[in-house]
Structure 1
């Protein structure tokens, strides 16, 4: 029995796996992790191994101590991975992106896959049908764009993200919404077009907490379920235990 932990910038996600089957999952704000972990340890005392994807860093040591005798692996390029990468230096490839690429190998083997993860940042990664990761891109996510417009100006308000159906705003608020929405849509479309022109039979996968915001403008694409990254982490863990 394995524990998979996805420690993001704002949320922490716990998954308990029995081989490839998910027995339990819980999503919490980062600062509320302790009680959830204690409940998991009480309910599943036979957990022997854990893998952690950590892009946060604020609670890493406390989290590891709380796991006690459970053997812990941190997702990184130092582990045995199911793909090769052209990323340089390899050690700078983030744990979340490593997990997503591994999930692509698991769910879409021997395919050209372009995975777009929409969270605090938007990450883009391309992996070909021979399991070679060519690289990708990183840009600000929805909330980061809204916060930047407010922080770096003296008069623009801080708004909650909202998908705009307009292309031209008729007020400051609607202009911000359409600017952020259509800016992200245009950026994503450009990335997809670039890769479709260069790689045949491209599979495009959307993942991440903000992915469903774009389910209408990209209705013909694949939207991964909320377990996608966790399945990639479990795949890495199992590979490194064998």
Structure 2
């Protein structure tokens, strides 16, 4: 089985694949200082709870936007699973698509993996939105080439900045406002309207502009933690795919194995 490790700025997701199916997954807060031994104590117990052992893991692939985390995850793979991990974007696990941007080496692993998975699953011209610590918008053409995109503050970052830089505004949870009115009658409602509907308006406006530049019909694919929440309140998304980045890792690992044979 394949263990795919998606290292984000906020969380790391470990997913166990059997073929193209995710059998189970676990999430832990990202901490680049966490050692391979510490990962092992946590992960091996979770494997056992789900009825698996380290002998069930035959390959590991790591995709990371936190370079410092890669070394300790490599130690985990080598010491506790006896495998040399594939690193997304390197060696046999090169991405294999054209990055039509000024600095291809600056493209984050998560966005590259989303490009691979979205093209493989949905085809055609695409706009891929990933709700993470930052919210990214990526344009992928019908050939699978990455054409560029947008980086915006994630909605939680926006809320943190609002609350952290004002004296009296309270912390609120991200959720749909209680009514569809955009005229709030109290402080909390006004904040939620600004954050929630302001974010929806930003997404709709930016995607409209991206599609106008593409000049051809394009599907919009959303992934990340808040995709399902927003999908209930906008017609923007053609598909919501919460596992897009992990599936990109699995596709990349399969291609790497094919190259090696």
TM-score, with structure 1 as normaliser = 0.89
- 1:179-237 Cα offsets, whole Å, 9 max, x none, are 11122111111122123334322111111011112022224623433322111111112
1:96-127 Cα shifts (integer Å, max 9, x gaps)? 10111111121013x00101111211100010
Question: For residues 1-242 of structure 1, what are the structure 2 equivalents within 5 Å?
Answer: 1-30=1-30, 33-39=39-45, 40=47, 43-57=53-67, 59-68=69-78, 69-76=82-89, 79-109=93-123, 111-164=124-177, 165-197=180-212, 198-219=214-235, 221-242=237-258
Q: Closer, same or farther in 2 for the Cα pair 1:76/1:151, shift >3 Å?
A: farther
| Cα offsets for 1:42-77 (capped at 9, x unmatched) | 624142321112224564332221222222122237
Secondary structure, in 3 states, of the residue corresponding to 1:161? coil
Q: Match for residue 35 of structure 2?
A: none
Question: Which ranges of structure 1 fall in alignment gaps of 5 or more residues?
Answer: none
Q: For 1:179 and 1:159, locate their aligned partners in 2 and report how far apart those are by CA, in whole Å.
A: 12
Deviation at 1:15, TM superposition (A): 1.4
For residue 167 of structure 1, report the CA deviation from its aligned partner. Answer: 1.1
Output the CA distance in 2 between the equivalents of 1:88 and 1:209: 29
Deviation at 1:92, TM superposition (A): 0.8
SS in structure 1 at match of 2:142: coil
Larger displacement relative to structure 2 (47-56 or 142-151):
47-56
Q: Does the Cα contact within 8 Å between 1:15 and 1:25 map onto a contact in 2?
A: yes
Partner Cα separation in structure 2 for residue 133 and residue 118 of structure 1: 18
Q: What is the RMSD computed on CA atoms of the aligned residues?
A: 2.3
Equivalences, count = 241
Q: 1:154 to 1:76 in 2, by over 3 A?
A: farther
In structure 2, how many angstroms separate the alpha carbons of the residues matched to 1:184 and 1:51?
33
Is the Cα contact below 8 Å between 1:76 and 1:94 reproduced in 2?
no
- Taking a change above 3 Å as real, the CA distance of residues 179 and 53 of structure 1, as seen in their structure-2 partners, is same
Kept in 2, the 8 Å contact 1:205–1:222? The answer is yes
